[in-house]
Amino acid sequence: MSASASRSYGRGAAILSAGIGVTGVVTFGYFALASHSLTAGEYGHITLLWSAVFITVSVLYRPVEQLLSRTIADRDARGLSGLEHLRVAATIQLALAAVFVVGALALRGPIEDELLGGSSSLYTILIVAVLAYAASYFARGFLAGHHRFGLYGGLVLMEASSRFLFALAVTVGIATGETAVALGIAAAPIVSLAVVPWALGRRLRAQPAVTEADKDDEGAFTLARGSGFAIAVLLIMLSEQTFLNAGPLLVKAGEGARGAALAGFTFNVLLIARAPLQLFQAIQTSILPHLTRLRASGETDPFRRSVNVTLTAIAGFAGCVALVMLAVGPWLMGLVFGGDFDYARGGLVLVSIGMGLYLSAATLNQALLAHGRAQQSCVAWVGCAATFALFLLLADFDDRVLQVEIAYVAAAAALCGLLYGLYRRA
């Protein structure tokens, strides 16, 4: 069974790596076109809108994606049927979407005026995009848990491609302005849902009848049980987004009139860490159900080998990126994004190293989730993210971008060390 599981994981990771690798390039292209087509201030608003949307959806909805992925894989490994876990996950997802709507309406003034430059259009786009992603992330968890990685890759590729077309339309002159570029952020998850009805419907129609043993297990999977896992992962996702998005947001808050432009520049620097996450999403998506199946089957050695191979690949990749940034980083960033800012070579190398540490931490986190150690992992994430944010708020650096770069690599190193310690004990 271990050889079959390893082949399944390898195929799934390969399929997703191809699809999501293209997705990462297309996403990079979206921001490159937007950077060249808009003013520095307008581009800053686009990056802040993107950050706000993806902070929100990752924090609110990825916990349910992870819950579904882990639960479905575990149930499949144990030969259980039934739909109660889907109803629990859907209830949690709908509740989280409702919480978002209430919060967004209550905070419309600060969101619209202080974050989005007073644009009611960008505020509306944010609301629509976040609600559309609720369905998208539910579908991702379902597909990952059932190893439907081809459809998963198709979903995210359709999302990125449709978003890219809006930036392209502005670049060639079919449309103009930041609102036209921003519309792609809302349209993308809606277009990507085209694969969902067929994928969900086919799988649910094939669902076997529920046995008495299944009913007993269904009773154990309660809303409280699912919510406990989801809340821990929600806090992990909040911490994750703090690492990736607090830098541009806090830079904007502390720099007055030039804050939006400097936030866009900081965002570009952190794309060195963000862009590989698109590719790593393939590994992250496939490794959780894979490790969960191995744990449910009691296969300890294949579990450890899968984690070690992934960590080794990440180290090699991060080393290559760091060498490229050392050799041609400033020239490459200037070519891709343009603008009047100068990219510091040392800072780009720091972010590359931090990216490798962060991806290693994310891999160890998936191993801990497969072991059912979400609460322990959560404590490490929250502690490191809080320290990272406090350093950005309290430390007095003349170079705010360098401050973000140093904070990122230091916090990623601390997080990786803490999670590795938890993993060894698990």
Rg from Cα positions in the chain:
21
What is the rounded CA–CA span in Å between residue 22 and residue 128? 25
Least confident interval from 9-18, 336-345, 379-388: 9-18
Inform me whether the pLDDT recorded for 50 exceeds 80: yes
Say which residues have a Cβ less than 8 Å from residue 98's Cβ, sequence separation at least 6. Answer: none
Q: Look at 36-40, 308-312, 320-324 and tell me which has the smallest mean pLDDT.
A: 36-40
Instruction: Please report the pLDDT score of residue 334 as a whole number.
Output: 80
Closest CA to 76 of 282, 221, 289, 300: 289
* Percentage of the chain lying above the pLDDT 70 cut: 85
> Cα(160)–Cα(272) distance, rounded to whole angstroms?
18
Report how many domains make up the chain.
1
What's the length of the chain?
A: 426
Residue 230 pLDDT more than 80? yes
Using the predicted structure, report yes or no on whether residue 403 has a pLDDT greater than 90.
Answer: no
pLDDT tens by residue, 63-86: 999 999 999 988 888 777 677 888
pLDDT digits (tens, 9 = 90+) for 176-194: 889 999 999 999 999 888 7
Q: What confidence tier does 343 reach under pLDDT thresholds 50, 70, 90? A: confident
Using an 8 Å Cβ cutoff, are 46 and 37 in contact? no
Tell me: pLDDT of 101 over 80: yes
> Among 414, 423, 250, 264, which Cα is nearest to 339's?
264
pLDDT of residue 231: 92
pLDDT exceeds 70 at position 242: yes
Q: C-alpha angle 134/229/302, rounded to 5°?
A: 105
The answer to whether 196 touches 135, Cβ cutoff 8 Å, is: yes
Segments forming the whole domain that contains residue 148? 2-425
Cα distance from N-terminal residue to C-terminal residue, the chain:
23
Classify residue 301 by burial, with Cβ atoms within 10 Å: 0-12, 13-18, 19+.
exposed
Residue 212 has pLDDT above 50, yes or no: no
